Amino acid sequence: MKDFSREEIDHILDTAERLEPVARGEEKLKLLDGKIIALLFFEPSTRTRMSFEAAVQRLGGKILNLGSVEASSVMKGENLADTIRVISNYADLIVLRHPLDGSARMAAEFSSVPIINGGDGSVNHPTQTFLDLYTIRRESHLEGLKIALAGDLKYGRTVHSLCYALSLYEAEMIFVSPPELRMPPEIVRDLQKRNINVKETDSLEKIIGDVEVLYMTRVQRERFPDPEEYEKVKNRLKVTGDLLRNVNPNLKILHPLPRVNEISPEVDSTPYACYFEQAFYGVPTRMALLALATGVIE
């Protein structure tokens, strides 16, 4: 996300807005007719993989899916660079999710077609950020937003990408996490260099009345080197009906999903819950990214 200007982000969000009726199946627009989009997912995914598939299909393109890593030649020891070199000759664009930090940037160096990062390690998840920004713009507002980013701020790649983008809109950010899972200091320093003052706390109760958006995240069990450390922090922060008694009536609660225990199901039926709409907005935003990256629109 550090590569994008505010104008570029706004252009992508405007494009997604134009494509939303297509994402809902209300209009037809076969922008990707004749294009092949390869999906390479080396980590589990439901939303990113399936919303990319939905986006391609709604726009009339075709999917080339690596499928499960176990059924591919990765199991014979093929490295990522060779896999990318080969698949970039089969497709017009590659969407990559990979457990290694920096894998998407590395893949871009070996690919003859555009790479979209569908999540690399614990570092970035930029397409999630575009759908998060789209959700916030649609359901609340971006400029000067008061937002709390809560949960696993250490390993959660969605919050890392999101806070860089929000800094372009002069958002007021509060980071809420157990002390063990604080936002990496280099990100806090980067934000301070951008003149963004961030507050940090370990208590949702202290800040919930002051924010317009609560962006909740799960504790990323799979990224903990020590399972005992995960057990200590896994249930430290939770959004419940009680927590929401005295909140801003326009509060929106977002979550990239999947959730584990950090939002109780009773919250789903409140007017604050926005996470299932948010998951839908992945389709128009990924349509916009695919159409722009393949060059079928400008």
Active site residues: 47-48, 76, 97, 125
Report residue 235 as tokens: 């249930």
48: contact with ligand CP by CB under 6 A: yes
Which is nearer to ligand CP, 48 or 117 (by Cβ)? 48
Say whether 184 counts as a known binding-site residue.
no
| Residue placing its CB nearer to ligand CP in the complex, 114 or 126 | 126
Q: How far is the CB of 101 from ligand CP (least distance, A)?
A: 16
252 is an interface residue for ligand CP by CB under 6 A: no
Q: Judge residue 68's burial from the number of C-beta atoms within 10 Å of its C-beta, 0-12 exposed, 13-18 middle, 19 or more buried.
A: exposed
245 known ligand binder: no
Between CA 12 and CA 180 the distance in angstroms is: 35
Give me the amino acid identity at 171: A
Site string for ligand CP, 91-120 (x = CB under 6 A): ----------------------------x-
How many binding residues for ligand CP (CB under 6 A)?
Answer: 9
CB of 7 to ligand CP, least distance (A): 26
Q: Is 121 in the site for ligand CP (CB under 6 A)?
A: no
Residues whose CB is less than 8 angstroms from the CB of residue 128 and which lie 6 or more positions away in sequence, other chains included: 48, 119, 157, 158, 161, 162, 256, 282
**284 near ligand CP, judged by CB under 6 A:** no
47 scored as a contact of ligand CP (CB under 6 A): yes
Q: Which residue, chain included where needed, has tokens 């494009």? A: 15
On whether 257 is known to bind a ligand per the annotation, the reply is yes
Residue 256 is a binding residue for ligand CP (CB under 6 A): yes
Burial of 200 (0-12, 13-18, 19+ CB in 10 A): middle
Q: At what angle do helices 126-139 and 157-167 cross, to 10 degrees?
A: 60
Q: How would you list the strands of the sheet with 93-98, edge to edge?
A: 62-65, 36-41, 93-98, 115-120
Note whether 220 binds ligand CP by CB under 6 A.
no
Residue of 103, 128, 177, 220 that binds ligand CP (CB under 6 A)? 128
Candidates 41-49, 98-106, 146-154, 199-207; binding stretch for ligand CP (CB under 6 A): 41-49
Contact yes or no for 199/236 (Cβ under 8 A): no
Query: By CB under 6 A, is residue 218 in contact with ligand CP?
Result: no
Phi, psi dihedral angles at 281 (to 5 degrees) = -65, -10
Interface pick for ligand CP out of 14, 46, 102, 221 (rule CB under 6 A) = 46
Q: Which stretch binds ligand CP (CB under 6 A): 23-31, 46-54, 63-71, 162-170?
A: 46-54
Structure tokens at 144: 């000067």
Contact predicate 3/165, CB 8 Å: no
6 is in an annotated binding site: no
Give the number of other Cβ atoms within 10 Å of residue 42's Cβ: 21
Nearer to ligand CP, 162 or 196 (CB): 162
Q: For 66, which DSSP code?
A: -
Looking at the Cβ atoms of 114 and 119, the one nearer to ligand CP is: 119
Residues 90 and 105: their CA atoms lie apart, in Å, by 20
Nearer to ligand CP, 48 or 294 (CB): 48
Indicate the annotated binding residues for L-aspartate.
76, 157, 218
Q: By the criterion CB under 6 A, which residues form the site for ligand CP?
A: 45-48, 119, 128, 256-258
